[in-house]
Chain A
């Protein structure tokens, strides 16, 4: 590998999206080329600085209200109480998806029951994104986990406490189909990833790790012991896969 090729591949290499062969060639080249190492470090610094320091302008509340008023179903989209607000947000999500897609666009293939699990997770994830106060307890795993005590009839099995790439934002308990789920919210740059942990008994969790794409969102579904896991986000599959591996690591 020459320097020109190494420069072309730097960004993919940093993001972990290079296939194994080119990644190995890249490492070999970097080991012997100080200039390309410096370039890689400068690219890494730029990525970190942009993610951490570039201001992101949030839509002002007045703009959000005007947008909601202009969209179909808006009359039903006025959250009244907190609990009702969740239900209304979900209704709004479906109405808007129908308005934009012309259909509710069920693109999940496979068994209908697995689809129900994925859809439920996606709808809850959308509520997190809509700003519903799902993350009722904030902080690290040592603060979040004890909070679940008394609110769930099982102890969610999760060892991953978040890291610099995927900090844990908080947790919540929400109805999930016919039971209750522990919800953990992770961040990745500007993105949110929501992890659902439920007792899997009676739900159609796939036997092996399965990915789904629903309405543009990516989901991982898997089962470990008695508990089922769904991870939902608008992150790319490779990035979400990195988080999934961290969560599922024994």
Chain B
């Protein structure tokens, strides 16, 4: 059953570390940690969310180990000038977004700060806000605002894209 979520885990891993080999190592480490912490899994809760949380925490641990000076580089919940301007959506924005090809969408997602990128991906995986909060280690209310900021930033990037 846990292997059912291998695609979801590998996908998030690829969006976190980019390199395919490193992503595989991250997923394997995640399963090893999950097996060691099996007693902490609450029966009836979402196994996929639990595994994704372990994967992201494993990634953050590794990042802190390799770059201790950049322990918390993404303060994604603070207002930023780039996105606090209410993301003036006009009628042309949706047409511009729809016209993009897969590579352009991927580039824009990859350029987001990790906390925003992860929020976008967890949302795509169909996790509820409560489940996303458990993966991201934040309050449910924070998930809502983080997802809104992430989407606003992404819309701006996509709408501003010029091939």
> Do the two chains belong together in a single complex?
yes
Shortest CB distance B38–A (Å): 5
Q: Collect the chain A residues with CB atoms within 8 Å of residue B97's CB.
A: 42, 45-46, 49
Instruction: Say yes or no: A101 contacts B43, CB within 8 Å.
Output: yes
Whether A101 contacts B93 by the Cβ 8 Å rule is no
Q: Interface extent on B, as a size class?
A: 35 or more
Closest CB of chain A to B163's CB: distance in Å?
Answer: 14
Q: Which residues of A contact B55 (CB under 8 A)?
A: none
In the complex, what residues of B have CB within 8 A of residue A103's CB?
Answer: 43
Chain B residues with CB below 8 A from A158, complex form: none
Given B6, B90, B158, which contacts A64 in the complex, CB threshold below 8 Å?
A: B6
Check B71 for interface membership: any CB of A closer than 8 A.
Answer: no
A1-28 at interface with B (beta carbon < 8 Å): 7-8, 11
Q: Is the CB of A126 within 8 A of B28?
A: no
Complex CA distance for A42 and B153, rounded to whole angstroms: 12
Determine whether the beta carbon of B105 is less than 8 Å from that of A215.
no
User: Interface stretch among A52-60, A142-150, A221-229?
Assistant: A52-60
B4 at the interface (CB under 8 A from A): yes
Q: Which residues of A contact B52 (CB under 8 A)?
A: none
Across the two chains, which residue of chain A brings its CB closest to B154? Answer: A46
Q: Given A49-B100, A101-B43, A56–B151 Cβ distance below 8 Å?
A: no
Interface size classification for chain A: 35 or more
A174 within 8 A of B: no
A137: Cβ under 8 A from any B Cβ: no
B147 at the interface (CB under 8 A from A): yes
Q: Which of B7, B14, B32, B105 contacts A49 (CB 8 A)?
A: B105
A249 at the interface (CB under 8 A from B): no
Q: Please give, as numbers and ranges, the residues of chain B lying within 8 Å of A135 by CB-CB distance.
A: none
Nearest chain B CB to A76's CB is how many angstroms away? 14
Determine which of A11, A57, A102, A236 lies in contact with B10 in the assembled complex, contact meaning CB atoms within 8 Å: A57
How close is B74's CB to chain A, nearest CB, in angstroms?
Answer: 20
Q: Is A177 on the interface with B (CB-CB < 8 A)?
A: no
**Interface residue A208 (Cβ < 8 Å from any Cβ of B):** no
Contact of A120 with B by CB under 8 A: no
A222 to chain B, nearest CB (A): 22
- A binding-site residues for B, Cβ under 8 Å: 7-8, 11, 35, 38-39, 41-46, 48-51, 53-60, 63-64, 66-68, 70-72, 92-94, 96-97, 99-103, 105, 107, 126, 129-130, 189-191, 213, 215-216, 234-236, 239
- Can you list 25 A-B pairs with a CB-CB distance of less than 8 A? A7-B148, A35-B89, A41-B89, A44-B94, A48-B98, A49-B158, A50-B120, A51-B124, A54-B124, A58-B7, A63-B27, A71-B3, A71-B35, A96-B1, A96-B2, A101-B41, A101-B43, A102-B43, A105-B44, A130-B4, A189-B124, A190-B125, A213-B44, A215-B47, A216-B45
Given contacts A49-B98, A50-B105, A57-B23, 12 further A-B contacts (CB under 8 A): A35-B89, A45-B93, A45-B97, A57-B7, A57-B10, A63-B27, A92-B1, A94-B1, A96-B2, A100-B38, A107-B44, A190-B8
B residues adjacent to A (C-beta < 8 A): 1-4, 6-11, 14-15, 20, 23-24, 27-28, 31-32, 34-35, 38-39, 41, 43-48, 86-87, 89-91, 93-95, 97-98, 100-102, 105-106, 109, 120, 124-126, 128, 144, 147-148, 151, 154-155, 158-159
